[in-house]
Structure 1
Amino acid sequence: MAAPNVMLNIERLSSRVLRILGCNPSPMTLQGTNSYLVGTGQRRLLIDTTNPGKDEYIKLLKSTLEENTTSIQEIVITHFHIDHVGAIPDVCQNLLHSKEIKVSKMKKPVGDEVNIGLDYTFIEHNHTFHTEGATLRALYNPGHSNDHMILYLEEEQSLFSGDTIINGSSTTVQNLIEYMKSLQDILDLKPVRIYPGHGPVIEDGVKTTTDYIAHRISREKQVLEYLQGSKGDPRTVMDIVKKIYVGVPVVLHGKAAENVDQHLLKLQAEGKVVTEDGKGWIIKEN
């Protein structure tokens, strides 16, 4: 996927959506985590934050609130990863001067929640957030993480996709079977535009989602073709990465390996590949 244009630190994306860049660029976060202020009134929803200790992000968020004469009604978190939840304590301490703020997310079905020093409010699938000028419907959308949710902005027929879909790269996947279903769920919504967890706004939500699905199907085909060509000689995950992720920087091979591993687990569940030792993989003979 082509690299996106450089984004502004603060940008109005629509009459009800402002983006504040997380000031945490990296190979995994691209230009940074997108934090969104949603609504039109004197209190608005904040979707996601950034990593802890990002003073520049706090300054940007503070100036955005002041310039728009607004405050934070509630913090809504798409998923538990540290680049999304990490700055919540900093926001509370420096901007709210209090821990009396609702922080809402979906509960992890397995594993501990990231400790942010205050309690989460756990919501269910189809929960609706209301603020002046905006209505957000929360939809469970696992795959990238086991607690991941997306937020459908009803007034715009648009979507905050978290890290299920990002702009400028493919995303990492914790469970590919769930992830492919989540992509189809997004496609069924037919979002006009997508506000991703990383990268610029996606102006054609349906096309991009379709492309994401096609990309994963293509990767799966590459994995199968490579294993078929090995003629029964077991291949490791890293063998596959080096073969099919040509041109991808070595620094990203670890994350690529995680994706390949997910493809193999999906193919194993479908009875298409097997492994004897959990390391070397071959095509399953009929």
Structure 2
Amino acid sequence: MEIAPCIHNILTDLQHATGVTNTYLIVGSEGAAFVDAGWDRPGEAEARIAYWEKLGKPALKGIAVTHRHPPHWGNAPAIQRACGNPPIIATFTEKPEIDARMQGATVDRPVRDGETLSLGSLTLEFVEAPGHTYGSMAVFIRETRALFTGDNVMGTGSSVVNPGEGEISLYLQTLDKFLRYEPAVIYPGQGPVVTNPRSKLEGLIRHHAEREQQIVSLMAKAPCSIEQLFAAIYPDIREGVRHLARNQIRSHLIKLEKEGRVVAAGDVYRLSAR
């Protein structure tokens, strides 16, 4: 459906336990581009291709993949084959991660911060946005100041930063970077459109500062294991997301270790004596 002038979000009626990832189609006067491609599940690629055909098959200039996770590139090979062989676009950092998993295609155009793609009336700027993953990318429409954030910003709640795939410190730097773009609207990787970007971004920064302080305050009382921190911080969290919550604690501890504020002894963490 068209959710704003020139911007479409292609969601299917298919119900899956793994959830829904937004697939945006941006249409300018001289072409179009996808931002993310959705899960590679039965009927998903066909729905996206059919929607593009319904719009009159505008010249597809690119398929921008915001990061390495499968729901963001899953249908990219099928869309590429059916829609005139447009380049699949991602950052240099994400290219090897995506290429290793994606079958039938590769990232054709790796990009660096500030590179652009013209759709005629609209200019897409590719923004390096490490955090959720090391090579995450956002897409910024210069003319309308619309920001497509991938999973660095969710429509509801906060993003997940898994150890080994991204870092909290980089994530916070990216949120500050997004603020400097002064977006008029945010189109997130999952969930509804964010119509008050500054409030959302500042809220995410504040949330992570509060979570970090919560961890530090608990360790100020006594050294803690991740399980002890988890029990204190997330007493009522549902079973299906407990592993994600533990990973957020690990990611915060990695940040604090790098800053010299926390020392690990096996599975137990304590505040440094500095």
Q: TM-score, normalised by structure 2?
A: 0.89
C-alpha contact (below 8 Å) 2:21/2:189 kept by paired residues:
yes
Summarize the alignment of residues 179-190 of structure 1 with structure 2, pairs less than 5 Å apart.
179-190=171-182
Aligned to 2:123: 135
Q: Does 1:61 align with 2:51?
A: no
Q: In the superposition, relative to structure 1, how do residues 24 and 108 fare at CA in structure 2: closer, same or farther (>3 Å)?
A: farther
State the shift of 1:134 in Å: 1.6
Q: In the superposition, relative to structure 1, how do residues 65 and 90 fare at CA in structure 2: closer, same or farther (>3 Å)?
A: same
1:92-121 Cα shifts (integer Å, max 9, x gaps) = 34x33x6x3311110127964333322311
C-alpha contact (below 8 Å) 2:74/2:102 kept by paired residues:
no
Q: In structure 2, the residue corresponding to 1:34 is in which secondary structure? A: coil
Q: In the superposition, relative to structure 1, how do residues 259 and 24 fare at CA in structure 2: closer, same or farther (>3 Å)?
A: farther
The range that moved more, 146-155 or 241-250, is 241-250
In the alignment, which of 257, 260, 263 is matched to residue 271 of structure 1?
260
C-alpha contact (below 8 Å) 1:105/1:122 kept by paired residues:
yes
Aligned to 2:4: 14
Q: Matched residues in 2 for 1:111 and 1:76: separation?
A: 15
Q: Matched residues in 1 for 2:94 and 2:240: separation?
A: 31
In the alignment, which of 222, 225, 235 is matched to residue 217 of structure 2?
225
Aligned to 2:93: 108
C-alpha contact (below 8 Å) 1:43/1:73 kept by paired residues:
yes
Structure 2 regions of 5+ residues with no counterpart?
Answer: none
Summarize the alignment of residues 37-52 of structure 1 with structure 2, pairs less than 5 Å apart.
37-41=25-29, 43-52=31-40
1:138-177 Cα shifts (integer Å, max 9, x gaps) = 1111011111111111121120011110112211112111
1:43-68 Cα shifts (integer Å, max 9, x gaps) = 3101111121241x234323322332
Summarize the alignment of residues 1-286 of structure 1 with structure 2, pairs less than 5 Å apart.
11-21=1-11, 23=14, 25-26=16-17, 29=19, 32-41=20-29, 43-55=31-43, 57-71=44-58, 72-93=60-81, 95-96=82-83, 100-108=85-93, 112-113=97-98, 114-120=101-107, 121-173=109-161, 174-229=166-221, 231=222, 234-277=223-266, 279-286=267-274
- Over 4 Å off, 4+ runs: 22-27
Q: Matched residues in 2 for 1:112 and 1:151: separation?
A: 19
C-alpha contact (below 8 Å) 2:155/2:193 kept by paired residues:
yes
Q: In the superposition, relative to structure 1, how do residues 21 and 238 fare at CA in structure 2: closer, same or farther (>3 Å)?
A: farther
Amino acid of the structure 1 residue aligned with 2:104: G
> In percent, how many aligned pairs have the same letter?
22
Q: Matched residues in 2 for 1:63 and 1:122: separation?
A: 27
C-alpha contact (below 8 Å) 1:39/1:132 kept by paired residues:
no
Q: Matched residues in 1 for 2:86 and 2:15: separation?
A: 24
The range that moved more, 136-145 or 109-118, is 109-118
C-alpha contact (below 8 Å) 1:43/1:70 kept by paired residues:
no
Number of aligned residue pairs: 265
Amino acid of the structure 1 residue aligned with 2:87: K
Q: Matched residues in 1 for 2:102 and 2:126: separation?
A: 22
Structure 1 regions of 5+ residues with no counterpart?
Answer: 1-10
Aligned alpha-carbon RMSD (Å): 2.0
Q: Matched residues in 1 for 2:110 and 2:15: separation?
A: 27
Q: Matched residues in 1 for 2:95 and 2:262: separation?
A: 27
State the shift of 1:25 in Å: 4.7
